Amino acid sequence: MPINILMPALSPTMTEGNVSKWLKKEGDAVKAGDVIAEIETDKATMEVEAVDEGKIGKIVVPAGTEGVKVNDVIAVLLEEGESAADIAATPKANPEPAAKTADAKPKAEVPAPQPAAPKPAPAAAPAPKLPAPSGDGKRVFASPLARRIAQQQGIDIASVQGSGPNGRIIRADVAGAVAGGTAKAAPAGGAAQRAASLPAAPSFSGFGEPEFELIPHTTIRKTIARRLQESKQFVPHFYLTVDCEIDRLLALREDANAGSPKEGPNAYKLSVNDFMIKAYALALKAVPKANASWSDEGIKQYRTADISVAVSVPNGLVTPIIRQAESKTLTQISAEMKELAGRAKANKLKPEDYTGGSASLSNLGMFGVKSFSAIINPPQATILAIGAGEQRAVVKSGQLAVATVMSATLAVDHRAVDGALGAELLAAFKRLVEAPAAMLV
């Protein structure tokens, strides 16, 4: 019988996803392991592979559809000898519509016509969907967001080809029409009529506000916003800052890089960030009670220092993990970090690359930021924010001197790590940074 292809759960936190692209079309033969679609999750865009052999009988969810729930049917696979006629008998994955149908049967058997009376009410609701081109008066089916963007861009939404269910126009269709130059300008007076027909929505402008372009949120950006808001709202943060002299670390880095082969598989180029990851991991091992997180059942104390490193990507921020960083060499950390950062920027990270981690590190020193306070990445209890190294006046043995100083700020979840323990962790980090040879032992 036909096989339902379901929206997969591609990460532990995923509840819904967007169908970005279909790589197979209806009628195409597929084998187990073939990549059939690209799904945008709350973390990255990932490829979906077929688990059975057959041919694509029907694509249920078109490309560009957003907010598809995990385990919803997105396509139907036909096995050998089956045809499209067999799809009608395929049970749906979501039992809710069936339940509603079952509930409706007893109502249909009631002889009184009252149960049918409320049904015309939804027919009046589509009034907001009736903005039609000024010529033929045909109804245009489009999402409210697509209509709003079309209105802002001053284009006639009726000129846009829809790719959503039953030809419905979605946001991606409007954006594609604008980018491709295929959209027609809105007819005179049409903008006001369409605005009047749209459902009431919060105003995006006010007196004196300049013109702007509304950029719809991506799934990744929504997830970042939700998690950071939850962190600041529910996690009691406190912050500790320490200044570290890094002249010896910079000299060691220069000597190490000078010894690297010019090219080949063994060539390397250590960054200051690689030293920060290693120092932070060793500090967590030296102060194991700080390598922990809060849970309602108890404090989780981790056996390894798995460092989540913040990486900026076009759609926001991801945190790939250097696992067991305390036991890896600086060159291993450097190579692994470069590989993970490259895949992060190409949206090619796998769930195991960013799921977990015992602590986080964020470095804005390369942007010249002197110091900053980062937001904890739940359920972790600490995140270390690294600032830029700069020459400052310091006092050594009663004499004024110049040293390269870097500020590091530790954000701590007070539920899992107390102030004294956080200070002990930061002191261990400072010792390693100022005596970097200890990282090579």
Higher pLDDT, 101 or 20: 20
Local confidence band at 291 (pLDDT 50, 70, 90 cut-offs): very high
pLDDT in tens, 365-401: 999 999 999 999 999 999 999 999 999 999 998 999 9
As a whole number, mean pLDDT of residues 218-225 equals: 83
Assess contact for 61 and 19: CB atoms under 8 A: yes
Give yes or no for residue 200 having a pLDDT over 70.
no
- 133 pLDDT exceeds 80? no
pLDDT tens digits for range 347-370: 888 888 999 999 999 999 999 999
Of 17 and 382, more confident: 382
> Could you tell me the pLDDT band of residue 156, with boundaries at 50, 70 and 90?
confident
Whether residues 35 and 163 share a domain: the answer is no
Asked which of 28-42, 136-150, 217-231, 378-392 is least confident by mean pLDDT, the reply is 136-150
Does residue 101 fall inside a structural domain? no
CATH of the domain at 147: 4.10.320.10
pLDDT for residue 201 is more than 70: no
CB environment 75-105: b (16+ within 10 A), e (fewer) = bbbbeeebeeeebeebeeeeeeeeeeeeeee
Q: Which residue has the higher pLDDT, 136 or 50?
A: 50
Q: Is the pLDDT of residue 204 over 80?
A: no
> How would residue 11 be classed by pLDDT, with cut points 50, 70 and 90?
confident
Tokens of 438: 């200890």
Tell me which long-range contacts 297-303 makes (C-beta under 8 A, separation of at least 24).
299/416, 300/379, 302/358
Compare 251 and 214 and report the one with higher pLDDT: 251
Decide which of 42, 66, 96 is a domain's last residue. 96
Is the pLDDT reported for residue 411 higher than 80?
A: yes
How many domains are contained in the chain?
Answer: 3
List the CATH number of the domain containing 16: 2.40.50.100
Which of 348, 349, 251, 356 is CA-nearest to residue 302? 356
Beta carbons within 10 angstroms of residue 163's beta carbon: 16
| CA atoms of 63 and 50, how far apart (whole Å) | 17
User: At 401, is the secondary structure helix, strand, or coil?
Assistant: strand
pLDDT of residue 210: 83
Catalytic residues: 414
Note the pLDDT of residue 187. 66
**What was the pLDDT predicted at 47?**
81
247 and 190, same structural domain? no
pLDDT at 214: 86
Domain ends where: 30, 61, 96?
96
pLDDT band at 304 (very low <50, low <70, confident <90, very high): very high
Fill in the amino acid letter for 207: F
Q: Are residues 151 and 199 in the same domain?
A: yes
181, pLDDT greater than 50? yes
User: Are 2 and 79 in contact, with CB atoms under 8 Å apart?
Assistant: yes
Q: What is the pLDDT of residues 184-193, one digit of tens each?
A: 776 655 444 5
Count of residues making up the chain:
441
Asked if 375 and 411 count as a contact pair (C-beta separation under 8 A), the reply is yes
Same domain, residue pair 85 and 195? no
Q: State whether 300 and 351 are in the same domain.
A: yes
169 compared with 123, residue with greater pLDDT: 169
**Within a domain: residue 430?**
yes
**Can you give the residue range of the structural domain that contains 82?**
3-96
pLDDT value of position 129: 40
pTM for the full model?
0.62
Q: Which residue has the tokens 């979906």?
A: 48
Q: Terminus-to-terminus CA distance in the chain, angstroms?
A: 62
Distance of alpha carbon 259 from its chain centroid, rounded?
39
Amino acid 2: pLDDT: 79
Cα 194 to its chain centre, rounded Å, is 34
Work out the average pLDDT over 327-355. 93
Kindly provide the b/e burial profile for residues 10-40, where b requires at least 16 CB atoms within 10 angstroms of the residue's own CB: bbeebeebbbbebebeeeeebeeeeebbbbb
Q: Are residues 283 and 377 in the same domain?
A: yes
Tokens of 322: 């250097």
- The enclosing domain of 278 has a CATH number of 3.30.559.10
Mean pLDDT of 156-169: 81
- Does 348 lie in the same domain as 263? yes
- Whether residue 110 lies inside any domain: the answer is no
Residue 153 is predicted with a pLDDT of: 77
* pLDDT value at residue 101: 39
Amino acid at 362: S
Give a yes or no: residue 224 inside a domain: no
Residue 36 makes CB contacts below 8 A (sequence gap 6+) with 5, 22, 23, 24, 30, 48, 49, 50, 56, 75
Work out the pLDDT band at 157, boundaries 50, 70, 90. Answer: confident
Please name every residue paired with 55 in a beta bridge, in sequence order, or none if there are none.
29, 78
Assess whether 299 and 422 both reside in one domain.
yes
Query: 84 with 167, same domain?
Result: no
Whether 20 and 163 share a structural domain: no
Res. 50: pLDDT tops 70:
yes
Residue 231 lies in a domain: no
Question: Is the residue at 365 inside a domain?
Answer: yes
Q: For residue 293, what pLDDT band results from cuts at 50, 70 and 90?
A: very high
Could you tell me if 382 and 428 are in contact, meaning their C-beta atoms sit under 8 angstroms apart? no
**Token couple for 56:** 């694509």
Phi and psi of 299, rounded to 5°?
Answer: -80, 125
Name, of 119-128, 143-152, 202-211, the range with top average pLDDT: 143-152
Predicted confidence at residue 109, as pLDDT, reads: 43
Which amino acid is residue 321, in one-letter code? I
Evaluate whether residue 380 is within a structural domain.
yes
User: Average per-residue pLDDT in the chain?
Assistant: 82
**Residue closest to 394 by CA, chosen among 240, 247, 272, 241:** 247
**DSSP 3-state of 377:** coil
In this prediction, residue 208 has a pLDDT band, given cuts at 50, 70 and 90, of: low
The one-letter code for the residue type at 187 is P
Q: What integer pLDDT is reported at residue 14 of this predicted model?
A: 78
Return d(Cα 285, Cα 325) in angstroms, integer. 10
CB-CB neighbours of 352 under 10 Å: 10
* Under 8 Å between Cβ of 359 and 381: yes
Dump the DSSP string for 73-110.
EEEEEE-TT--GGGGGGSPPS--HHHHHHHHHHHHHH-
260/395 same-domain check: yes
pLDDT grade for 125, boundaries at 50, 70 and 90? very low
Indicate if 64 and 158 belong to the same structural domain: no
The angle at the Cα of 151, spanning 155 to 135, to the nearest 5 degrees, equals 55
| 3-state secondary structure (DSSP) of residue 315 | coil
Residue 116 in any domain: the answer is no
* CA 251/CA 272 separation, integer angstroms: 11
Is a pLDDT exceeding 90 seen at residue 297? yes
